Structure 1
Amino acid sequence: METINVSEYMAQLISMVMIAGFMAISPGADFVMVTRNSLFYGRKAGLYSSLGICAAIWLHVAYSIAGLAVIISKSILLFSIVKYLGAAYLIYIGWKTFQNRSDIDIAPVSGSLSALSALKEGFITNALNPKTTLFFLSIFTQVVSPQTPLVVQMLYGAIISMAHLIWFSCVSVFLTQPRLLALFMKSKSTIEKLVGGVLIAFGIKVAAS
């Protein structure tokens, strides 16, 4: 069994931790879905939705690992296309996030949402989100090299998955406290501009690398 030198991948590990954090907190369909379920169905629904997102991340991790090998082995041109498309997408969503001035507007609903239904909603929302797909293809391939062992790549997947679970669980808990919700909405514009600026900067870095 091959011994893995952890220090050899420390730079990649640090980069993946930072990327995982920004991936989790960047605004999108996952945030809106967790917000909806937390506000209208309660904390339990929000937490199970977060767990569904966490599970769906592994689907993206699986095809990213497989796709990386295929792209690199078959065509450098295809790899370059993915890289620049990913960079352009990051800059685009970063700019849209930076300019965003809209508030969350979700129509009230009634009834209850079972734990299984909430988990399914979280999973499907993340799994079928094309932005998440492109995000993984553009980010995961910039950090993971062809020489990175599979077990290390799986560790990176676990980091991304746990980052999403922790973030969205915190969002659910946060949103179910009315006084904290009011404070968050006041800071929403600042958070959007911060995340948008980071995404733009990272997109430029990806394109220039």
Structure 2
Amino acid sequence: MLEFLGVTLFILLAAMAPGADFAMVMRNSMLYSRRSACLTALGVGASMLVHTSYSLLGLAVLISQSVALFTAVKYAGAAYLCWLGWQSLRSGGGAACSASVDSRPDISPWRAFRQGFFCNLLNPKAPLFFIAFYSVVVPAAAPLGVRALYGLECAFVVGGWFVLLAVLATHAPVKQGLGRAQRWISRALGGAMLYFGIRLALAQR
């Protein structure tokens, strides 16, 4: 039980650390509906299942040690974050900003899910996280089934945290309060994603 609680706390603290996933979920909570924000959050959680799968197969070590693979994922993720950050900066000003938040056209469910999914999936630091997760946090001697269950827990906790964040951020009084500063918040979130994209592009293994 103590081991389970320790692993859960580690995952939750890692999920709560400010990063590109946080900026993405907050961006879609600001710009779109609660459904879209929650689907973005679920996309982040679903991508953890992919990270878990290749980590259990030993591919996380391969990605972390291969210059070509690490660089390819790094630049794909950086480009994706910079593109979304630029979109957020553009949507944060002009006529779109002066319109009511509720009147803004929503995005499709698949697009909302995809944005969260690829935001997390294209982070080359994720394999490094799972190497540490499966070598330090989860006992190395744990059976494969137990390690897989901890991976599922990781996806559940991360997805659950971001769904909770999306629900809170789209709560009517909160969203109305944020809406008064929508121009600046959208720009700040867009700038944050650009920052994370540039920092990712410059990251070393």
Q: 4+ residue runs of structure 1 moved beyond 3 angstroms?
A: 68-71, 178-183
- Identical-pair percentage: 35
| Cα distance change, pair 111–55 in 1 and its aligned pair in 2 (3 A) | same
| 2:165 alignment counterpart | 171
Alignment of 1:1-209 (within 5 A): 10-67=1-58, 106=89, 107-108=91-92, 111-177=105-171, 179-180=173-174
Per-residue CA deviation, residues 137-189 of structure 1 (Å, 9 max, x unaligned), is 22332023342111111111111111112111111111113544669xxxxxx
Q: What is the TM-score with the length of structure 1 in the denominator?
A: 0.60
Distance (Å, rounded) in 2 between the aligned partners of 1:52 and 1:13:
24
Cα 1:149/1:36, change in 2 over 3 Å = same
Note the residue ranges of structure 1 that are not aligned, 5 or more in a row: 1-9, 72-77, 79-104, 184-209
Q: Counterparts of 2:124 and 2:131 in 1: how far apart (Å)? A: 11
1:9-60 deviation digits (Å, cap 9, x = unpaired):
x443222111111121111111111111111011111111111111100111
Distance (whole Å) between structure 2 residues aligned to residue 142 and residue 154 of structure 1: 15
Structure 1 residues 112 and 139: alpha-carbon distance in aligned structure 2, compared to 1, 3 A threshold: same
Report the count of equivalent residues: 143
SS of the aligned residue for 1:129 comes to coil
Report how far residue 68 of structure 1 moved. 8.4
Cα contact 1:69–1:146 (8 A) shared by 2: no
The alignment partner of 2:57 has SS state of helix
Cα distance, 1:69 vs structure 2: 10
Gaps of 5+ in 2: 66-87, 97-103, 179-205
